[in-house]
């Protein structure tokens, strides 16, 4: 019955990053996924058909529109076979990206919602037979690459790493941007964005880490090693500070997702970079003094990047689906904010609640100083669960867990 725009999909399912556990800043980790075939053993990508020369933008747009209609039907009927019919099945990493996002959405609290049509706005030829389509997605925009399969159908796809062209390094005094020729039109824009994002983090947090870091721009999903398909960007702490890295999916790709056309992809990407650089700044300028839990880390990053995910959180509050700070029923896999990185569903939504917890502390406990008072109390408090929060909250704010929890829930109802 619900008619919602497709943007909700990405607000709800995309987690902003995979962060390093605060306890082990020493190693660069990547989440391995044994079910994924290495890209080297994947079948050859679909080659453009010989009639490629006859393709006009209007003909291509019509073919792509047909594929998008099927894609929406697949989402609305939870039909993975239908989804596969419009996705390049010869590109294993790409197929995995699209299917995992589909499955994440279908199993979320918002699975079953009905999406309205996606409309092709314009198409643009890219190298190796790809066409980049700009799509209106319920008022939001997104860019997806398509290629024509042997039987003439248009399917979503992406190039292989080899097809991305020359590797490019852009170096400045703060970081090295590692990118590809494929992303030539956005490389300078992104360099400038990272410079501004770094400054925003420093201005809000009030401390300046002194290490240079690396930024890796990924124009496609299928760059080895395999990464989490539900992330847009992530920070990895290096064994040495100069090995710190932020990986980012480039705009004009399926992995990048949708964006508000009034803000542009630049606006969406900028706040994501601020988020990741907040993890970097915490790790290099605060971690020695404090201890923070996962929700505190993600909430701080969302707070500094000013990303309340208001639509998703309001909907969840109205539906009575507030993710509790500590799940009173516990169990082997508690569904609560205290375990936000291992939630089975609604991980994207958990970022919105993490923001709200930090914003609630900032607004009611004397600004970010209140947050740091709590981070110091967390450092000095052993234990787990409600008992742990009760002690740390009493130490920092003179409040019991029950008082804090009730105050936060009341604040959510008043502010969302």
Least separation, in Å, of the C-beta of 140 and Zn ion? 22
Cα separation, 306 vs 231, whole angstroms: 18
Number of residues that bind Zn ion (CB under 5 A): 4
Least separation, in Å, of the C-beta of 40 and Zn ion? 30
Q: Tell me the window of 3-11, 28-36, 147-155, 294-302 that interacts with Zn ion (CB under 5 A).
A: 294-302
Cα separation, 148 vs 157, whole angstroms: 9
Q: Tell me the window of 15-23, 156-164, 175-183, 383-391 that interacts with Zn ion (CB under 5 A).
A: 15-23
Cα separation, 240 vs 230, whole angstroms: 27
Q: Tell me the window of 147-155, 169-177, 262-270, 293-301 that interacts with Zn ion (CB under 5 A).
A: 293-301
Look at the block and give the residue holding tokens 């003439």: 152
Q: Tell me the window of 17-25, 99-107, 323-331, 390-398 that interacts with Zn ion (CB under 5 A).
A: 17-25
Interface pick for Zn ion out of 13, 19, 197, 219 (rule CB under 5 A) = 19
Q: Give the number of other Cβ atoms within 10 Å of residue 382's Cβ.
A: 8
| Chain centre distance of CA 180 | 21
Cα separation, 351 vs 89, whole angstroms: 32
Look at the block and give the residue holding tokens 């790709």: 253
Query: For Zn ion, which is the closer residue by CB, 22 or 118?
Result: 22
Least separation, in Å, of the C-beta of 16 and Zn ion? 5
Token reading at 314: 């309001």
Query: For Zn ion, which is the closer residue by CB, 246 or 301?
Result: 301
Ordered alpha helix ranges (H), 3-158: 7-13, 57-76, 80-84, 92-106
Cα separation, 281 vs 77, whole angstroms: 44
Q: Tell me the window of 127-135, 198-206, 291-299, 312-320 that interacts with Zn ion (CB under 5 A).
A: 291-299
Cα separation, 102 vs 80, whole angstroms: 8
Q: Tell me the window of 145-153, 246-254, 296-304, 340-348 that interacts with Zn ion (CB under 5 A).
A: 296-304
Of 305, 218, 224, residue with least CA distance to 39:
224
Least separation, in Å, of the C-beta of 175 and Zn ion? 18
Query: For Zn ion, which is the closer residue by CB, 191 or 298?
Result: 298
Look at the block and give the residue holding tokens 């996002």: 101
Cα separation, 378 vs 389, whole angstroms: 8
Look at the block and give the residue holding tokens 């804090």: 404
Phi/psi at 344 (nearest 5 deg)?
Answer: -80, -35
**Residues between 134 and 193 with contacts to Zn ion, criterion CB under 5 A:** none
Least separation, in Å, of the C-beta of 193 and Zn ion? 17
Q: Give the number of other Cβ atoms within 10 Å of residue 391's Cβ.
A: 18
Q: Tell me the window of 10-18, 248-256, 325-333, 397-405 that interacts with Zn ion (CB under 5 A).
A: 10-18
Interface pick for Zn ion out of 301, 317, 325, 350 (rule CB under 5 A) = 301
Query: For Zn ion, which is the closer residue by CB, 295 or 401?
Result: 295
Contact between residue 2 and residue 113 where contact means Cβ atoms under 8 Å apart: yes
**Counting contacts by CB under 5 A, is residue 343 touching Zn ion?**
no
Least separation, in Å, of the C-beta of 234 and Zn ion? 7
Kindly state the greatest CA–CA separation across the chain: 73
Query: For Zn ion, which is the closer residue by CB, 179 or 271?
Result: 271
Query: For Zn ion, which is the closer residue by CB, 129 or 308?
Result: 308
Look at the block and give the residue holding tokens 């291509």: 60
Query: For Zn ion, which is the closer residue by CB, 22 or 378?
Result: 22
Least separation, in Å, of the C-beta of 296 and Zn ion? 11
Interface pick for Zn ion out of 17, 46, 237, 317 (rule CB under 5 A) = 17
Applying CB under 5 A, the residues found at the interface with Zn ion are 17, 19, 298, 301
């Amino acid at each position: 019955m619900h008619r919602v725009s497709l943007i909700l999909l990405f607000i709800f399912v995309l987690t902003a990053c995979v962060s390093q556990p605060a306890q082990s800043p020493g190693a660069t980790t990547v989440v391995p996924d044994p079910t994924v075939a290495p890209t080297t053993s994947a079948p050859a990508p679909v080659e453009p058909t010989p009639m490629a020369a006859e393709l006009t933008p209007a003909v291509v747009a019509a073919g792509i529109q047909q594929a998008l209609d099927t894609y929406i039907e697949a989402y609305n009927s939870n039909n993975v076979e239908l989804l596969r019919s419009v996705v390049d099945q010869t590109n294993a990493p790409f197929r995995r990206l699209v299917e995992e996002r589909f499955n994440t959405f279908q199993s979320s609290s918002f699975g079953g919602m009905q999406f309205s049509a996606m409309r092709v706005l314009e198409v643009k030829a890219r190298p190796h037979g790809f066409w980049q389509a700009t799509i209106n997605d319920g008022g939001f925009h997104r860019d997806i690459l398509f290629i024509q399969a042997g039987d003439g159908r248009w399917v979503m796809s992406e190039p292989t790493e080899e097809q991305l062209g020359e590797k490019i390094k852009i170096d400045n005094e703060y970081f090295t941007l590692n990118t590809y020729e494929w992303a030539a039109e956005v490389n300078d824009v992104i360099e400038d964005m990272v410079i501004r994002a770094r400054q925003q983090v420093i201005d809000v947090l009030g401390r300046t880490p002194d290490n240079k870091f690396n930024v890796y721009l990924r124009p496609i999903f299928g760059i080895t090693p395999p990464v989490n398909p539900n992330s847009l960007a992530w920070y990895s702490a290096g064994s040495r500070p100069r090995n710190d890295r932020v990986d980012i999916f480039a705009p004009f790709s399926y992995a990048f997702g949708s964006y508000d056309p009034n803000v542009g992809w630049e606006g969406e990407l900028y706040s994501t970079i601020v988020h990741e650089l907040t993890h970097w700044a915490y790790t290099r300028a605060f971690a020695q003094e404090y201890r923070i839990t996962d929700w505190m880390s993600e909430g701080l990053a969302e707070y500094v990047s000013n990303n309340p995910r208001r639509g998703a959180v309001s909907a969840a509050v109205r539906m009575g689906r507030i993710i509790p700070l500590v799940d009173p029923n516990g169990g082997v896999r508690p569904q609560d904010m205290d375990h936000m990185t291992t939630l089975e569903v609604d991980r994207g939504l958990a970022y919105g609640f993490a923001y709200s917890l930090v914003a609630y502390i900032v607004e009611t406990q004397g600004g970010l100083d209140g947050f740091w008072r709590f981070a110091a109390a967390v450092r000095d408090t052993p234990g787990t669960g409600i008992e742990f929060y009760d002690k740390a909250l009493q130490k920092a704010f003179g409040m019991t867990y029950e008082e804090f929890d009730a105050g936060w829930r009341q604040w959510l109802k008043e502010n969302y």
